Structure 1
């Protein structure tokens, strides 16, 4: 078990210690569940009332909250509790699952595969022809990487993930369990006789930049005849659908159950709320935000926030909702 003194944590998060406590800190915990030896977090004044009943030894506290720790406890005041928490969780992170051998004997690796230094491949994984793995790539059990894929240095791929042929993956990416990358896009047209559907084949690929993280059970479809692209630093939640030929700029965020239809373009730093849906061939420009549950059917200007179904400017939509509420009272 990892543990730290309060002084060590103060240095780690670059904070100011308030109060005295000699307890070793062995785990972070929610304020209402914390016990002696735990550190918790007070990021806003709404949690101040919970501190009096908390058994935590230590709390990271936003420096703007006028509160004292009390006898036998301590605070570390910080400018940004969320970022300080991220540093602290890194420090307390447990060791990853153990590999007894770097390349498990049940893994099937084609003779043409190029493995970088320090790669790990778990049990029952499959690596196809002409795949190139960079240095220190970690592939957990039951992963499939098909022909002609490239995967950059330090990328981690969790169990159940399938990376289809010709995909190009950057460095320092994380794909959580059961991610699907490079499946066919959804494309059908009525047959000439009107009695069936003709499948539109997708022969492109997926290109993913550096530092991208994709949550469990999310799907990123290949392009029809070019690439579906995710820029550096994008963060994709669980159960997200990204349609064929969509292009995401740098550092976009998509929350759970949201989806992009085909050929959607997101600029840099776009944020898509949970369960939001984006119509095909729509462009959402850099810095825009789409509220949870919204349906976007037209382009969104840079920096704008839109909500609702169909989505429109958030301030305008709020006025509409207020007017509707007033009508309901009459």
Structure 2
């Protein structure tokens, strides 16, 4: 069954880690090197974790109550708190920290980030990868901007399946406590999201945007880069925020305006459409 579920390289790594406990160090290194897929196992010193069967680097700090399931990998310098669960296929990158009782789903990738306590990260999410930052130089070539900072996830945050949260470049990407994020959401680099926000599916938040507390974004809302949204703002589905929203309240439309204004726009558009069809 394991051979069917796990990719070949992960399966080889798991087999090598299990074998490292049963053979002398030099023999273990030679055996790991012979597998090809884990050629650096000797230098990185990965071993099997007794609570779940996943693979840990010896330099990782893992609480004895943490569960690292088979096929998961925890890298050097990572910190896993009490009662953390890391699902099969997940990767916890170097120096990533995960707080108490947080659950990490299958095939989640965590890098350049910290995750608070009592969080839920659903299957396939990716946190801490480089943001989409590029510029065109004098020669007309597209160059990558440095992405050197981290993503910080607060406590009691829930992140839906296949959601991506980029690391920061000039400030850290931050998600506040008790914020809930749906599936298939894209949060760009340097974005700051306050506490107790609700972000529905397929929302896209471009880089360096700032959201206050208690913000609600309906499905497929788009927020352009460097825009600020005040606390206690609610945006209707399919809205586009093109400039700062400074007052709390309900907004909608493309571009987003106060909800009553947007409703008048829709009503006038329907009326105009009916009149135009009569004239024809």
Which TM-score tier does this pair reach, normalised by the shorter chain?
Answer: 0.7 to 0.9
Q: Do residues 169 (structure 1) and 118 (structure 2) align?
A: no
What is the aligned residue count? Answer: 227
Partners of 1:129 and 1:174 in 2: CA distance:
23
Structure 1 residues 132-211: aligned runs within 5 Å: 132-165=79-112, 167-194=113-140, 196-211=141-156
> Taking structure 2 as the reference length, what is the TM-score of the superposition?
0.79
Asked if 1 retains the 8 angstrom alpha-carbon contact of 2:77 and 2:94, the reply is: yes
CA–CA separation in structure 1 for the residues paired with 2:208 and 2:115: 20
Q: Which residue of 1 aligns with 2:51?
A: 103
Equivalent residues of 1:171, 1:210 under 8 A apart: yes
1:317 partner SS = helix
Post-superposition offset of 1:232: 0.2
Q: Distance in 1 between matches of 2:77 and 2:168?
A: 21
CA contact (8 A) 1:203 1:226 kept: no
Secondary structure, aligned partner of 2:269: helix
| Structure 1 CA distance for aligned equivalents of residues 52 and 269 of structure 2 | 62
What are the Cα deviations for residues 54-79 of structure 1, in whole angstroms up to 9, with x where unaligned? xxxxxxxxxxxxxxxxxxxxxxxxxx
Spell out the pairing of 1:199-238 with structure 2 (5 A cutoff). Answer: 199-238=144-183
The CA distance in 1 between the partners of 2:248 and 2:256, in whole Å, is 15
State the match for 1:37 in structure 2.
Answer: none
Q: Is the 1:219–1:239 contact (alpha carbons within 8 Å) kept by the matching residues of 2?
A: yes
The DSSP-based 3-state class of the residue aligned with 1:275 is coil
The correspondence for 1:255, drawn from 195, 200, 204, is 200
| Structure 2 match to 1:77 | none
> Is the aligned partner of 1:240 residue 2:185?
yes
> Which whole-Å CA distance do the structure 2 matches of 1:245 and 1:263 have between them?
4
Q: In structure 2, what is the Cα distance between the partners aligned to 1:293 and 1:102?
A: 48
> Cα distance, 1:305 vs. partner?
1.1
Which among 263, 268, 291 is matched to residue 236 of structure 2?
A: 291
Asked if the contact 1:143/1:157 (under 8 Å) is kept, the reply is yes
Match of 1:329 in 2: 274
Instruction: Say if 1:288 and 1:301, in contact at 8 Å, map to a contact too.
Output: no
Residues 1:300 and 2:245 are matched in the alignment: yes
Give the deviation of 1:302 after TM superposition.
3.5
Does structure 2 conserve the Cα–Cα contact (< 8 Å) formed by 1:102 and 1:119? no
RMSD: 1.2
Contact (CA 8 Å) 2:188, 2:205: kept in 1 or not?
yes
- Does 2:224 match 1:315? no
Q: Which residue of 1 aligns with 2:9?
A: none
Residue 227 of structure 2 aligns with which residue?
Answer: 282
Distance 1:146 1:230 in 2: 19
Cα separation, 2, equivalents of 1:156 and 1:193: 47
Provide TM-score, normalisation by structure 1. Answer: 0.67
Alignment gaps of 5+ in structure 1 = 1-100
Q: Which protein is bigger by CA-based radius of gyration?
A: 1
How many angstroms does 1:279 deviate by?
A: 0.5
- For residue 168 of structure 2, give the secondary structure of its aligned residue in structure 1: coil
Q: Which is helix-richer, 1 or 2?
A: 2
Cα distance, 1:102 vs structure 2: 5.5
Decide whether the 8 Å contact of 2:239 with 2:252 is kept in 1.
yes
CA contact (8 A) 1:172 1:212 kept: yes
Q: What residue is the counterpart of 1:112 in the other structure?
A: 59
